[in-house]
Structure 1
């Protein structure tokens, strides 16, 4: 969240208000709010065959 806030400070503050969270505007505060209150997920595109590459194991696996 801190990286997003540094790129888009006004939108980040508005997002916090919409989420019902208060921040003081510092990078540390945005970091803490992101770590403690906002669940982030990583989206990985899946190839047309429905298989994806698992970077952790180095193997291909079927998507679920």
Structure 2
């Protein structure tokens, strides 16, 4: 398995994802994905929630 790094467009954090799934992954966490879907963007200072600990759980079909 090979991995690549991506940057979350919502919080700006760098995260790791499987290369095969990289084209499907947009955000680093469910929290960021929800913010992106609702049109709300988060600042880096406010990105310390528990949702930030979940990595790539929003990819349903890897």
TM-score (norm. length: structure 2): 0.22
Structure possessing the higher relative contact order (Cα contacts under 8 Å, 6 or more residues apart)? 2
TM-score (norm. length: structure 1): 0.22
